[in-house]
Amino acid sequence: MDFLVVIAYVAGVLVLYALGKMLMIPLRSIFSLIVNAVIGGGVLLVINLIGSFWGFGVGVNPITALVVGLLGVPGVLLVVALRLVL
């Protein structure tokens, strides 16, 4: 086998490795956002279920969904604090 062919194969594998590595960073960020959204939504659901006994509830609308989805549990605490204050 020619030496240049071997170098081309090695370069191709390195390019594929680098491309895969660059694509994993955004996937990891997206996965983290999805996990935050699911956990935050679950906590918001529990707060609404428990709060219904005392007449307390947090409305689920696009703004609260965005805050909870981006921040997760701290977003739920922020929404609850704003609901208590306002």
Residue 13 lies in a domain: no
- Residue 57's domain comprises 26-85
Residue 34 lies in a domain: yes
Cα three-residue angle 44-50-56, rounded to 5 degrees: 80
Q: Which of the four pLDDT bands, split at 50, 70 and 90, describes residue 3?
A: confident
Residue of 82, 56, 51, 85 lying closest to 67 (CA atoms) = 82
pLDDT tens profile 12-64: 888 888 888 888 777 778 888 888 888 888 888 898 999 999 998 888 887 88
Residue 30 lies in a domain: yes
Residue 46 lies in a domain: yes
Q: How many helices (H) and strands (E) does the chain have?
A: 3, 0
Q: Which of the four pLDDT bands, split at 50, 70 and 90, describes residue 5?
A: confident
- Taking 90 as the threshold, does the pLDDT of residue 81 lie above it? yes
Residue 74 lies in a domain: yes
CB atoms within 10 A of CB 64: 20
Residue 1 lies in a domain: no
Q: 3-state SS of the chain: helix, strand, coil percent to 5?
A: 85, 0, 15
Q: Give CA 17 to chain center in angstroms.
A: 25
Q: How many domains, in total, are found in the chain?
A: 1
Q: Which of the four pLDDT bands, split at 50, 70 and 90, describes residue 85?
A: very high
Residue 12 lies in a domain: no
Residue 4 lies in a domain: no
Amino acid 1: pLDDT:
65
Question: What is this structure's pTM?
Answer: 0.67
